Amino acid sequence: MKKRILTGDRPTGQLHLGHYVGSLKNRIEMQHSHEQFVMIADAQALTDNYDHPEKIRSNIFEVMLDYLAVGIDPSKSTIFIQSQIPQLFELTFYFLNMVTYNRLKHNPTVKMEMQQKGMEETVTAGFMIYPVSQAADIALFGGEVIPVGADQMPIIEQTNEIVRRFNSVYHTDVLKEAQPLLSLCPRLPGADGKAKMSKSLGNALTLSASFKEIEEVVKKMYTDPAHLRVEDPGRVEGNVVFTYLDAFDPDLNRVKELKDHYQRGGLGDMTLKRHLMQVLENCVAPFRENRERLKQNPQMVLDLLQEGTSRAKKEGQRKLEEIKDAMRINYRLDHFSTMR
Ligand code: TRP
């Protein structure tokens, strides 16, 4: 039997190249050998955007376009909208009993986000418990393999703690532990080489970036500040242009030659950057074209989302029954015996 994948993204904007190397690439490959569920995590996105539901609403469509444009194939992967699966909310409520309040306060991913978003004082209960809801996402769809970025590791760990606790409290094995699947590529830095590529930091290239946008970002890219003249030897470590070539240039030998040449001296930053611009253009151009084409037919895109969501709802209901049986709370009110 094929192993299950459950994965997803918050629809807070279009997806970018960081998403592509961090997890989309894995999902595109794995959908052939796995049974994959891809969730547009709108309810999770609302935990810190509850005052802007329209932003999340419109980005559901954008993220769906991104998925289809990069090659997540709706005949192989079930793509669905989180908020439309009520079973997820029910399971979240039961899972909240499987974790201490104290443990939630110490989740490193949540702590980091609170700090980045300046909500140490104003954090809502909904945001604090989103890792529990994420555990429910994974458990309800029986996710065994989770292709995500490295920042999600503590959440997967917490999911497995909840799963173990649940299985032990209810003497069952209905729930399976999940394994993160990380990208082979290290996290993609922003053009300045410091922070990661991220929409909120304004250093991200979307999956439909124009060649002009690619040029602008690559031009600004941090290289080796000591590499002043073309004939000087340059450094490859910490050089963002090479980090991107490692992630995007399919020709590994060529990357190796460029690195050797740069280190020997004689390879100018602008020549190198021109090459990267072309490599990124080769990657993004098909996505951009697919996206444009899909946008011409929004009804088809929505139909696919509707189909995936119906399929997910059925699967969610099936699994929830199993889970409630294990908890012995699947009362049948018409059968008094099951109530005693
Ligand atoms: N937390 C993920 C993100 O910020 C989105 C997400 C929600 C997710 N539920 C998930 C990822 C379940 C993997 C599995 O991008």
Q: Is residue 200 part of a domain?
A: no
Q: Is the domain of 36 the same as that of 161?
A: yes
Tell me phi and psi for residue 145, to 5 degrees.
-125, 130
- Which residue's CA is the closest to the ligand 1 atom numbered 8? 8
Helix spans in the chain (H): 17-19, 25-30, 42-46, 53-70, 86-95, 101-105, 108-116, 125-128, 130-140, 153-169, 211-219, 240-248, 252-264, 269-295, 298-327, 336-339
Q: Which domain holds residue 246?
A: 211-293
Q: Is the domain of 145 the same as that of 216?
A: no
Q: Is residue 312 part of a domain?
A: yes
Q: Is the domain of 250 the same as that of 263?
A: yes
Candidate from 134, 163, 197 with most ligand 1 atoms within 8 A of CB, to mutate: 134
Q: Is the domain of 98 the same as that of 233?
A: no
Q: Is residue 201 part of a domain?
A: no
Q: What is the pLDDT of residue 204?
A: 85
Angle at 211 between CA 210 and CA 217, to 5 degrees: 95
* Closest to 288 (Cα-Cα) out of 70, 72, 46, 127: 70
Q: What is the pLDDT of residue 336?
A: 62
83 alpha carbon – ligand 1 mean position (Å):
13
Give the residues surrounding ligand 1 with Cβ less than 6 Å away: 6-10, 39, 41, 44, 134, 137-138, 146, 148, 152
Which CATH number does the domain housing residue 217 bear? Answer: 1.10.240.10
Neighbours of 123 (CB within 10 A): 16
Domain count, the chain: 2
46 alpha carbon – ligand 1 mean position (Å):
13
Q: Is residue 251 part of a domain?
A: yes
Q: Is residue 243 part of a domain?
A: yes
Q: Is the domain of 111 the same as that of 225?
A: no
Q: Is residue 122 part of a domain?
A: yes
Q: Is the domain of 61 the same as that of 135?
A: yes
Q: Is residue 195 part of a domain?
A: no
Candidate from 152, 156, 163, 200 with most ligand 1 atoms within 8 A of CB, to mutate: 152
Q: What is the pLDDT of residue 140?
A: 98
Q: Is the domain of 177 the same as that of 252?
A: no
Q: What is the pLDDT of residue 148?
A: 87
- Which residue's CA is the closest to the ligand 1 atom numbered 15? 9
294 alpha carbon – ligand 1 mean position (Å):
25
Q: Is the domain of 74 the same as that of 142?
A: yes
Q: Is the domain of 125 the same as that of 219?
A: no
Tell which atom from ligand 1 comes closest to the C-alpha of 137: 12
7 alpha carbon – ligand 1 mean position (Å):
6
Q: Is the domain of 35 the same as that of 150?
A: yes
What is the per-residue burial (b if ≥16 Cβ within 10 Å, else e) of 190-225? bbeeeebbeeeeebbbbbbbeeeebbebbeebbbbe
- Domain end position, chosen among 293, 308, 323: 293
266 alpha carbon – ligand 1 mean position (Å):
45
236 alpha carbon – ligand 1 mean position (Å):
33
Q: Is the domain of 24 the same as that of 173?
A: yes
Low-confidence ranges of the chain (pLDDT < 70): 186, 199-202, 334-340
Q: Is residue 181 part of a domain?
A: yes
What SS3 state is found at 104? helix
Q: Is the domain of 115 the same as that of 32?
A: yes
User: What digits encode the pLDDT tens for the residues 253-300?
Assistant: 999 999 999 999 999 999 999 999 999 999 999 999 999 999 999 999
Which CATH number does the domain housing residue 326 bear? Answer: 3.40.50.620
pTM: 0.94
Distance of CA 217 to the CA centre of its chain: 23
